[in-house]
Amino acid sequence: MSLEKARITLCNVNKEDYPQIKTLMDEAYPDLGGAWPSHTIFRLIDQFPEGQIGILDEGRLVGLALSVQVDYQRFSNPHTYDEIVDAHNRVFSDSNGDALYGLDVVIAKSHRGMRLGRRLYDARKELCRQYNLRAILAGGRIPRYTNHSKDMTPMEYIDKVDHKELYDPILSFQLANDFQVKRLLKQYLPEDEDSGGYATLLEWNNILFQPTDTVIDTKKTIVRVGAVQWQMRSVSSVEELMRQVEYFVDTVSEYQSDFILFPEFFNAPLMGLQEHRNQTEAIRYLAEFTELFRDAMSTMAIEYNANIVTGSMPLLDGEKIYNVSYLCHRSGKIDEQRKIHITPHEAYDWVIEGGDEISVFETDAGRVGIQICYDVEFPELSRLMAERGLDILFVPYWTDTKNSYLRVRHCAQARAVENECYVVIAGSVGNLPQVDSLDVQYGQSAVLTPSDFAFPHDAALNEATPNTEMLLFSDLDLDKLKLLHSEGTVRNLKDRRTDLYQVVLKRR
């Protein structure tokens, strides 16, 4: 996968996509007549273009969610499929409707198991919020009821699926996405023999708010970040450490975090798998696993729908070693930031080189930058990032003593104040006696803010318990940064004397 090219992206489908739409629907519904004719899809696109959402994988359509607007009062009561789609396969969207009605959701067989259906449902929910619609309604098939129809009624079957005693590929998924069964629909789709003609009338209730932009282009204003305060511990294999990484990704994603931050050199325990003659040999051995972890964490970012800042790992580029952090977007794109300033220990014992690129990365949840540990102690880097619109600065670090930790912490706090941005720092704790120079760690992860009335009085939004493995969650309001830039008590960015001084990047 290219480091620059995004894989998974949301889009609104258009008429030129119909051949791919037909392929998807034919694959999904071979027993129900396959794809809708082109005039049905074209009508949906003409009447409600934002409601027709697709997922692309490098330009190929691999997911589809079709929707219409309807009158809530009418369709929250018993109805049939024919009242949604008439005998001529025409679907009518009511532009004055106060509810969203979910039609088909289809995922290509090649991409099932990647949680893309959940992403389409989330896009529908965002669309519902932006249009100030009352709810999402849907008639849901229960295709495995046919296996139990002799033993139980449809309502008994639904109740057992709800209590997870049985699994239904459609109903179980909808319940997991916060939909509630409102009633049973009889003869909803008579030709659906697997469901016995029954369907569930499902509803997801929306807390209304004013729309701002199209669902695809909207940027989040409340961003949730999760920082992993990582316990260094001995491992017996690469697979064991990878399971530990996925455990934290899974756990943090359950809280619907937009970003997950790991510490610097989080995978250092792997150096203990073999004996090494010196530290230079050990760090080069660790670099052998970097691409493996980068690619695995990129896959996790897609599957768990969260952007992952991979802490940092050593990268062997030619004959040189760099300390590198990756930003694994949930779209599948991977960005890279190499550590610019190398500590004396890294330079002498590990022979690590400094990078020469300073980047601000555009994400679906703001503009972010990464500075690995020592880098945050150099204010010029953050100022260059701030000039490119930095919202959140992520700082993965590793420190062995409290005084070295406080250097990182105090400098990170200063960067938040002077550049009017959020700074998230995450480190490791515990000990690793079998690895030279990594015997002990001191860490206290934190989320730091500018210092003004809209922010906490001590400019610390959240702090972890020192030297304890834990997760730290915080919601960052990006609109507060915009207000601070123009109307803050002091305006550090706006009031710079650029007639007297400036920070210039010499090499691009």
Whether the Cβ atoms of residue 334 and residue 326 lie closer than 8 Å to each other: yes
Whether 312 contacts 294, CB under 8 Å: no
Q: In angstroms, how far apart are the furthest CA atoms of the chain?
A: 84
Per the CB < 8 A criterion, the answer to whether 118 and 305 are in contact is yes
Contact 16, 10 (CB under 8 A): no
> Cα separation of 215 and 222, whole Å?
15
Q: Catalytic site residues?
A: 264, 339, 373
If one counts every other C-beta atom within 10 angstroms of the C-beta of residue 74, the result is 13
Q: Which amino acid is at 298?
A: S
Residues 6+ apart with CB under 8 A from 413: 423, 448, 459, 460
Q: What is the C-alpha separation between 489 and 451, in angstroms, rounded?
A: 9
Contact 126, 219 (CB under 8 A): no
| 271 token code pair | 């150096």
3-state secondary structure of 148: coil
Question: For residue 442, what are its two tokens?
Answer: 């001191």
Taking residue 118's Cβ as centre, other Cβ atoms within 10 Å add up to 15
Task: Return the SS3 of 139.
Answer: strand
Q: What are phi and psi of 131, to 5 degrees?
A: -90, 5
Residue 118 one-letter amino acid: R
Q: Cα separation of 388 and 54, whole Å? A: 31
**Contact yes or no for 174/202 (Cβ under 8 A):** yes
- Contacting residues for 310 by C-beta, under 8 A, at least 6 apart: 262, 293, 294, 297, 325, 326, 327, 328
Task: Report phi then psi at 240, rounded to 5.
Answer: -65, -45
Three-state DSSP class for residue 230: strand
